[in-house]
Structure 1
Amino acid sequence: MWDVNMKYGVIIGRFQPFHKGHEYVVRSIIKKGYKPIIMIGSPNVKNEKNPLSFEKRKELIEMIFDDVIIEPLEDNENWDIWYEDILRIIKKHTDELEKITFFIHIKSNDKDTFIFKGKEYKGVHYVKIFEDEGFEVINLDKFTNKNQYIHATDIRKDENYAKEHLDEKIYKRLKDWGFWGNF
């Protein structure tokens, strides 16, 4: 049971689909004693890179974890607004921002150039925003083999790869949905 002194661990992703790498991050959050807040990006985008609706991704996560907070996070090219949306979601669960830790893993293709609060960020991961805003950030790359990334693109395109990198229940549900027949 979670208490009022609970700290929260935030993970942001598209989870297209939710795979064993994502599961590892959420388990790490729980293991460290944090309540997970899972923010699902691109909740209203439907294309080859985003085949699953927000509701289906939420359903898949809840097949593995029954005591997590799952919230949609709208895409926004304005990083200031995107950050404010994240704060709004967090504040639905706690006003004590010092209780928030962001859990991340950095893939090279996640690095970007953008402007936040009038400052240009070049070739960095968006987590730099949270560090600059004073949040604790735990980079799980320090605890995993960086060469063992699971690629959701490969899961979407290769059912055999998917079977290896998805929880069995998630794999079966996706198969029931005809997930690999859509590409």
Structure 2
Amino acid sequence: MSKFDYGVFIGRFQPLHIGHEAVIRSALEKVDTLIVLIGSARQARTPRNPFTYSEREDMFAKVFKHELTTGRLVLKPVQDHPYSDTAWCTEVQRVVNETVLEHYNKGGVVLHGLQDLRIALAGYGKDRSSYYLKLFPEWGNVQLASQYGTFSSTVVRKQLFQRIPVISQSVLSEEVAEWLKAFALSDPFRELLEEAEFLDAYPDEWGRGPFVTVDAVVIQSGNILLVERGEAPGKGLLALPGGFLDPRESIRDAAIRELKEETRISDHKGEIPPAMLASFIDGAKTRVFDHPERSLRGRIITHAYLFRLPERRELFSVTGGDDARTANWHRLGDLKPEQFFEDHWSIIDLMADL
């Protein structure tokens, strides 16, 4: 009998490699059932997070078919919360609680709480990304042997996103390697390769920062004003109107300028003048977003301003301009995190009180 009824292992698995597999098999020797939480589960594709949750689920199914079929291994998605460890911990706790109750109750014994079950967090402290091992003191701990080898998913991705992709079967199971070979012939791969090449060249042209940017969170009658990006990075994704600070302007003025340039926001009298737009700013909600990995272009620190426009049945008119392909109003309830560029969904989530 195992010391723990359930283990919890968290990772991004971009992609799943033999180091991950070794840790999972080691954990399965110490717990009855292992819940694997797949992070970054609802994000748009980027060279850092190229595979969707369902695609990573497919990789697991090819390698751990027996464990998944018998219920010893359970996969669940977890969304990123880069600006709130509390929100991330809450989601992890909620997903684990729901998963354990659902899984255990299938055995015929109905539980309403987890107090009689032994749950442990499984993992190894490889680097600063493993800080989460200290965030769940209510669970036990299963320390696993460190991932062997000198490789990581970062190395696998770097080799993959080339004009002639390299898919190393020395660090990937045969099933995952074949999956990646097929992926390298797909349209998403070609789009990601274009973006990876853009990002590789970006520091040579612009430097690595820090850079200062602005973003406008514009709300009117339950709708938010968004642009569709016309170029890499994030071509085709939704984004907040915004851009880089000019040397001779204040941050607030930059937010207003970018809003006007990218959306041509207008009422029945024509384009709304800067002074009127400024009057719509909710100063109490202005916030800096500075997660070190918020942008793959470099160290970019953005200042977000919340514009609360007057409630009305007919929304202000907008037209895409500057480097925005289009500008449109979107109902807040219709939006999904995976539609957004960089961390713009997280900004909206915090600024608009979703």
Q: TM class by shorter-chain length? A: 0.7 to 0.9
Q: Which amino acid aligns with 2:114?
A: E
Residue number in structure 1 paired with 2:151: 150
1:67-86 map, 5 Å:
67=68, 68-76=73-81, 77-86=83-92
| Aligned alpha-carbon RMSD (Å) | 2.3
Within the candidate set 127, 133, 142, 2:133 is matched to 127
Task: Measure how far apart 1:157 and its partner are.
Answer: 1.6
CA distance in 1, matches of 2:126, 2:31: 25
The 1:166–1:30 alpha-carbon spacing in structure 2 relative to 1, beyond 3 Å, is same
Q: Secondary structure at the match of 2:125?
A: coil
Residue number in structure 2 paired with 1:30: 28
Residue number in structure 2 paired with 1:96: 114
TM-score (norm 1): 0.78
Q: Percent identity?
A: 26
CA distance in 1, matches of 2:24, 2:183: 24
Is this contact kept in 1: 2:42–2:53, CA < 8 A? yes
Task: Measure how far apart 1:149 and its partner are.
Answer: 4.5
CA distance in 1, matches of 2:75, 2:59: 11
CA distance in 2, matches of 1:103, 1:149: 21
Is this contact kept in 2: 1:156–1:162, CA < 8 A? no
CA distance in 1, matches of 2:30, 2:74: 16
CA distance in 2, matches of 1:89, 1:166: 29
Unaligned runs of 5+ in 1: 1-5, 112-124
Residue number in structure 2 paired with 1:20: 18
Question: How many residues are aligned here?
Answer: 161
Task: Measure how far apart 1:105 and its partner are.
Answer: 1.7
Unaligned runs of 5+ in 2: 102-112, 161-165, 194-354
The 1:147–1:11 alpha-carbon spacing in structure 2 relative to 1, beyond 3 Å, is closer
Is this contact kept in 1: 2:5–2:31, CA < 8 A? yes
Q: Deviations over 1:124-171 (max 9, x none)?
A: x121112xx23111222xx34x67243101111225573211101110
Of stretches 18-27 and 157-166 in structure 1, the one that deviates more from structure 2 is: 157-166
Higher relative contact order (Cα pairs below 8 Å, separated by 6+ residues): 1
Is this contact kept in 1: 2:167–2:180, CA < 8 A? no
Q: Deviations over 1:5-62 (max 9, x none)?
A: x711111011000111111111012122421111011112221100001100000011
Is this contact kept in 1: 2:19–2:148, CA < 8 A? no
Answer with 1 or 2: which has the greater Rg. 2
TM-score (norm 2): 0.42
Q: Secondary structure at the match of 2:36?
A: strand
The 1:147–1:30 alpha-carbon spacing in structure 2 relative to 1, beyond 3 Å, is closer
Residue number in structure 2 paired with 1:110: 129
Q: Which amino acid aligns with 2:156?
A: I
